[in-house]
Every structure is written in structure tokens, then in C-alpha cells.
A and B are shown apart, each in its own frame.
Chain A
Amino acid sequence: MNILLCCAAGMSTSLLVTKMEDYAKEQGLECRIWAVSANEVNDHVDDADVLLLGPQVRYLLPKMKKIGEEKGIPVDLINSVHYGLIKGDEVVKFAKSLIVS
């Protein structure tokens, strides 16, 4: 499972990456999780199974959804409470649920 995260500079989403990786390891999930800035999404989206946006760039959702449709991958916002409290487990579960459905 390849999870791509995106925010304005890719800085705060990278906080989440470590927590998500920890949870994935615990669960024995094969995951690649990485964070990029909004303008780098185009270069990375081909490797991703799902694209998640930080809540602070939710204005980018329509644009990113369009990219997701072209690539056939789900795109959604990360819940702002999970984001703020850096709940890696919840975000991995959310990503999984998006890919399955």
C-alpha cells in the first residue's frame, strides 16, 4: 500500500509519516508512506495508491480529486483532529478504507 500525503510545504504532513509508519509496522502492513508539497504531487502521484491532503490545504481538494480520477486513485482530506493530534493509526485505517472501497 502506497500512501502519499500532501500539504503546503510537505513539512507538517511529514510529522504524520513517522507515526503512520510506526503503526503500519506494528500491524505488519507493507506500506510506503511519504509526504510532499502541493506542487510536487504531480511527480509522485503515479506511485501512490491513495492521496491524502492536510486539512489546511483543503482548497486544493477539487484539483487533487481531478488528478486522482485521472490516475484512478482515491483522494481525500485527513480528519483535522487526527491531523492535529498526529494519530498515525487512524490515518492509516482511513487510507485503507479508501483503497478498499
Chain B
Amino acid sequence: MSKINVFLEEKMMPVAGKIAAQRHLQALRDGIILAMPLIIIGSLFLILGFLPIPGYNEWMASIFGELWLTKLTYPVTATFDIMALVATFGIAYRLAEHYKVDPLSAGAISLSAFILATPYFTMFTPAGAEAAIEVTGVLPIALLGSKGLFVGILIAILSTEIFRYIIQKGLVIRMPAGVPPSVSKSFVALFPAAIVIIVVWLLRLIIEVTPFESLHNIVGQLLQEPLSVFGTTLIGAIVYVLLVHLLWVCGLHGAAIIGGIMGPIMLAATDENRLALQAGTEIPNIVNAQFFDIFIFMGGSGATLMFAIMMLIFAKSQQSKQLGKLAIGPGIFNINEPIVFGAPIVMNPILMIPFILAPVVMVISTFVLMHIGFAPKTTGVAVPWTTPPIIGGILAAGGNWRGGMMQAINLVIAFAIYYPFFKVWDKQNLQLEIGTESDKEN
């Protein structure tokens, strides 16, 4: 084994394994997934509301009336804008499942705790007024969406940890024998739930006297903003794809592992774009979830779609050809385990080079072209990562064909990077095949 392989196997694998198996990160990853189908459905309405066709607005208004956009985007609010609520419940549920305590109770308690940490008023500036006034009796919907995502994550973990600790310590209200089990079960969650509520309530009371005023402000300023600022830079994006692909080269699901950490940051970045689109302001984030899923991981991690096509068209060896046939179908839908384990890419000193290099170069090309405005930024539309290239790019750009063009440019880049390595690898396969053939003849 080469030095790189030794390093990957001995240094990276154990660390990656620990991160991946860490229970809070696992719950975070699995919990946030709960919000994804909703967001994808909301995206359908978002695309229809903001199709980049000249005269589309006026045309829709002439048919459905002036308020058409408001009405069309009702579902967007009910999907995107509650992602923190849904994620809070999901994370608490998955974490409780891990501890083998009642997940449904843990989910419900964390929802209550999340609302408890959220201010019950919003600031509103009436038309013509100088200063904003406080409107009570409302929950600010922005804080239930991506802006509240990190608070939701922390509250879900905190409340479930308290909940399971108390239950595991046996500090629950026990009913005398003879009380039906379902009745006594309903009391089990009561005491730990009360403790969770009291802890978060005290937390809120304390924070309200500090200059931060709410947990949302603390978490936003100290955690969410710094992480987002770094995560959405070019350097942040390069670091992310390097890590994901180094893990894949070890045969580990890089996106699933790093996704636990990067997932919330990227999801929030996606949603910032969506909010800007709806508000009619400039779209802020080049780097977000769709940036990677749609424009970089084309054909799967490592941007292997072009590699699959090369195997189909240019392969001389039978083995390469066979693998090409096997890999192209799933590859179109961005699934590439046949390539990663079949070629294999894993621990392969030749193929690991383009597998890591191509995505990094594509990050740079996409970032630069979107930055100068040659390609459109993604509009916050959550396109499923299994959407085939070109279609995916057009949808992610909100229906703009130049999103598909950006993907086509990246495919050309991937082709150029993979081709020389493909040739070397295919030649090796061919030599092995000729070798075994002549062995048979002897």
C-alpha cells in the first residue's frame, strides 16, 4: 500500500468512523431528513411562482388576479418556513430512539421546549410610521424556519438528553400495581417533561435580561452566522468536497458523514436564497445544498457520470465495458456505488486522483461563473439529489436554462480531468485480460 493509503486507512478511517457513529450527529442527520420531503414539495410551488419568463408575472396576474403569487406560495410557508419545527421533532425522535426511550414523547416535549425558547412577539412597522411596534400574540414565522434551525437542533438535543437521563435514572412517577400499564405509561413522561420545560423556561428568563434578549439571537450571532459565513465561502466549499471525497476514497459514505455537520448550514443557506427570491432582493449564497448536489456531485460523488460514459464508449477492456453498462443507469440518477466499489475508486492510486480533483475544480468553476453572473445562482429550490444532470441544473436555477448550461460546462471539465486516468486504468485492465487469456492458452 502506498503512503497515502496507509494514511487514509490508519488516520482518517477511525476518526471518520467516530464522527459518523456519534449519536447526536447521527440523530441530527436522520432528524433533518424529516423536513426534506416537505421542502421539495414546497419547491414545486416556488418554481411556479418565480419562473424567469418575461411577462410571466403579468400573464399570471391577468388570469388569477393581483394576489396570485401570495396565494400560490401559501404552501411554501407551510413547508419551508416550518423546517426548524419539523427538524426539532425529528432530531428528538431519532435521539430518543437511540436511547430506547419513548420517541414520540421526546419529540412532543422538544417541540414545546422549542416554542418556549422562541419570543411570542414580532416587530412590525406600520405603513407611514417612524418606529416599529411590538405585536404580541404571534410566533415569528421566520424563527420557525431556517433562522431557527440551529436553536431547534440545540433544543432537541438538550431536551432529549434531560428526558432520557431522568428516565434512565428511574426518576419517574410510578403508579401502584393494579393501575393499567397504558395509564401508568402516560405518567412516565410527565416528570421528565416538566423538568425540560422548567430548564428551558429558566434559560429564557435569564437570557431575556441579557443584551441578547433571546436564545435565537445568541445562537444566531455566535453559532449560525459564523458557521454559515465560513461554510458558504469558496474555501469552505473546497474543504467540504475534499473531506467528502477523501472519505469516499476510504470506501465510506462521505456525504452522509460530513452531512451531519454541514447539512444544517447548507440547508439554511439554501433557504436564505429562497427568502431573498420571495422578497425580491439579491440572492446571497452561491454555496448551498444545491450547489453541491446538483452542480458538483454529477453522477454521484466524484462527478463520475463522465467516467461512466467513457467506460461505455471508449473502453477497450471487457471489464471496463461491463462496468460501464452496470454504472450508467444508476449514474444518470447520481448513484455511483458500482463505480466506487466496482472499478474500484476505493484505495485505487490512479482513479482516486480524478475522483478528488474533478469535484474541487468544478467547485471553483461553478463558484467563479456564478460569482461573475455568467451562470445563475440557485434560487432556493430544493431539487432532489437524484435528479438527472441538466434537468437538475435548470430546476435548481428556478427554471433558468443557464443552470443546465453550468452543469454542461462542469461535465466537460470532469471529462477532461478523468480521461487521461481512464486511459491508464483501462489499459491496465486490458493487459490483465490479455494476460489471463494467454495463461489459458498455455
Whether A11 contacts B335 by the Cβ 8 Å rule is: yes
A58-75 at interface with B (beta carbon < 8 Å)? 58-60, 62-63
- Closest chain B residue to A78, Cβ basis: B341
Whether A59 contacts B16 by the Cβ 8 Å rule is: yes
Contact across chains for B253 and A85 when beta carbons are under 8 A apart = no
List the A side residues contacting B97 at CB < 8 Å: 42
Would you call A84 and B337 a contact (CB within 8 A)? yes
Nearest-neighbour CB distance to chain A for B415, whole angstroms, equals 22
A80 touches B346 (CB 8 A): yes
- Closest approach, in angstroms, between the C-beta of A37 and any C-beta of chain B? 8
Q: Does B420 contact A (CB under 8 A)?
A: no
Residues of chain A lying within 8 A (CB to CB) of residue B257: 59
Chain B nearest CB: distance from A77 CB in Å? Answer: 10
Of residues 1 through 38 on chain B, the ones whose CB sits less than 8 Å from some CB of chain A are 16-17, 20-21, 30, 33
> Is A81 at the interface (CB under 8 A from chain B)?
yes
Q: Shortest Cβ distance from B217 into chain A, in angstroms? A: 32
The reply to whether A57 and B341 contact each other, CB–CB distance below 8 Å, is: no
Contact of B339 with A by CB under 8 A = yes
Q: Is A98 an interface residue (CB 8 A)?
A: no
Q: Which residues of A contact B21 (CB under 8 A)?
A: 59-60, 62-63
Q: Which of B212-259 contact A (CB under 8 A)?
A: 248, 251-253, 255-257
Q: Which residue of B lies closest to A54 (CB)?
A: B337
Q: How far is the CB of B301 from chain A (nearest CB, A)?
A: 10
Check B365 for interface membership: any CB of A closer than 8 A: no
- Residues in B238-285 with C-beta less than 8 Å from chain A: 248, 251-253, 255-257
Q: B386 within 8 Å of A by Cβ?
A: yes
Q: Closest CB of chain B to A73's CB: distance in Å?
A: 18
Complex Cα spacing A62 to B16, Å: 14
What CA separation (Å) do A62 and B21 show in the bound complex?
A: 9
Chain A residues with Cβ below 8 Å from B52 are none
Given the complex, which residues of B lie within 8 Å of A63, measured CB to CB? 21
- Shortest CB-to-CB span from B89 to chain A, Å, is 14
Other-chain contact of A80, B33, B326, B344, B386 (Cβ < 8 Å): B344
- Whether A12 pairs with B337 at a CB distance below 8 angstroms is yes
B340 CB within 8 Å of chain A: yes
B119 touches A (CB below 8 Å)? no
Count of chain B residues near A, Cβ 8 A: 29
Q: Count how many chain A residues have C-beta atoms less than 8 Å from C-beta atoms of the other chain.
A: 24
| B349 at interface by CB-CB < 8 Å | no
Q: What A residues does B335 contact at CB under 8 A?
A: 11-12, 15
Contact A84 B342 (CB under 8 A): yes
A54 to B337, CA, bound (A): 9
Q: Who on chain B is nearest to A16 by CB? A: B337
Q: Does A7 contact B (CB under 8 A)?
A: yes
Could you tell me if A86 and B16 are in contact, using CB atoms closer than 8 angstroms? no
For residue B23, which residue of chain A has the nearest CB? Answer: A63
A38 surroundings in chain B (CB, below 8 A): 30, 256
A85/B386 in contact, CB under 8 A: no
Is B338 part of the binding interface, using a Cβ–Cβ cutoff of 8 Å? yes
Tell me whether A84 and B341 are in contact in the complex, defined as CB-CB below 8 angstroms, given that A39-B33, A55-B251 are known contacts. yes
Given A8-B256, A85-B323; A55-B20 close (CB under 8 Å): no
A83→B345 CA distance, assembly (Å):
13
**B residues in contact (CB < 8 Å) with A:** 16-17, 20-21, 30, 33, 94, 97, 248, 251-253, 255-257, 323, 326, 330, 335, 337-344, 346, 386
Residues on A facing B (Cβ under 8 Å)? 7-9, 11-12, 15, 38-39, 42, 54-60, 62-63, 80-81, 83-86
Besides A15-B338, A56-B256, A80-B346, 10 more A-B contacts (Cβ < 8 Å) are A8-B256, A42-B97, A56-B252, A58-B252, A60-B21, A63-B21, A84-B338, A84-B341, A85-B338, A86-B326
30 contacts between A and B (CB under 8 A): A8-B253, A9-B256, A11-B335, A15-B330, A15-B335, A15-B337, A38-B30, A38-B256, A39-B33, A39-B94, A55-B251, A55-B341, A56-B337, A56-B340, A56-B341, A57-B252, A59-B16, A80-B251, A81-B341, A81-B342, A83-B337, A83-B341, A83-B342, A84-B337, A84-B338, A84-B341, A85-B323, A85-B326, A85-B341, A86-B342
